[in-house]
Copies of this chain bind each other. A is one copy, B any other.
Amino acid sequence: MSDLRDVHAFLFDVFGTVVDWHGSVTRELEDTAKIHGIEGNWGEFAKTWRRGYLENTRKVAQGGGGPLSVDVMHRKILDDMLRSGEWKAFGDALNPNARAHLNLAWHRLSGWPDSIEGLCALKKQAIIATLSNGNIRLLMDMAKHADLPWDAVFSSELFGSFKPNPKVYLGAAKHLSLEPHNCAMVAAHIYDLRAAAGVGMRTVYVRRTGEEATDVEVKPKSEGGEVDVVVYSFTELAAFLTNRK
């Protein structure tokens, strides 16, 4: 297991890695639908909404066009979903104010059970910052909502693309005044860590149930795998860093 001794800053993916987007958004959808007496599989609705976001950000990361603000992107996907078909009745029930409020459900996501304790412990040992495709205001609101103690909030918005475009990772390292190998990317998605490793960053994989689209078994280099460290929680990562000394 790598000791990450030269890592001065940990950069965190946020959706799915730090916060439970699926549980939080599903709960908001259920509450909203209940008010209007509309039934549906809201866990599936949340997944479809999220899938639209993943497709759109991937397109921009590869050089294609599209909104750079995730707030704008989330709203467009929501409006498209509500226009016709399965969710039309829900769409008819939601006026513009209700849609604007629902769209900000992505600002009100809750952390995983270990997130706050783990981040507070890590913050004593290194710089901790977001490196998310979410826009800055979204990440700030979420930090206030979920008590996340970031030293800085970095968003792909600052660098004119989305992860996994290399310029997002390099931009964060530059503003930290660090070489990439002095930074570690922390994520529950292997595509994110592959891109970080591609520019020379160290990698920490966090296993979060349901976050990988397909069944992947990610292993540390010490076991023949491709990432530096694999953990089940941020508290485990903090304990690992304490023990390296």
Contacts and interface: CB of A to CB of B under 8 A. Distances in A.
B136 A140 contact: no
Interface in A110-167: 127, 129, 135-137, 140, 143-144, 151-153, 155, 157-158
Instruction: Point out which of A140, A143, A178 has the most chain B C-beta atoms below 10 A from its C-beta.
Output: A140
A82 interface: no
Indicate how many identical chains form the complex: 2
A127 B151 CA distance: 15
Contacts of A175: 135-137, 155, 157-158
Given A157-B175, A158-B158, A140 B135 contact: no
Interface size class of chain A, counting residues whose CB lies under 8 Å from the partner chain: 20 to 34
Given A136-B175, A137-B175, 15 more contacts: A69-B177, A129-B140, A135-B175, A135-B177, A136-B152, A136-B177, A137-B176, A137-B177, A140-B151, A140-B152, A143-B151, A144-B151, A151-B153, A152-B153, A158-B158
Interface of A: 69, 71, 127, 129, 135-137, 140, 143-144, 151-153, 155, 157-158, 175-178
17 contacts: A69-B177, A71-B177, A127-B144, A135-B177, A136-B152, A136-B176, A136-B177, A137-B175, A137-B177, A137-B178, A140-B152, A140-B176, A144-B151, A152-B152, A152-B153, A155-B175, A157-B175
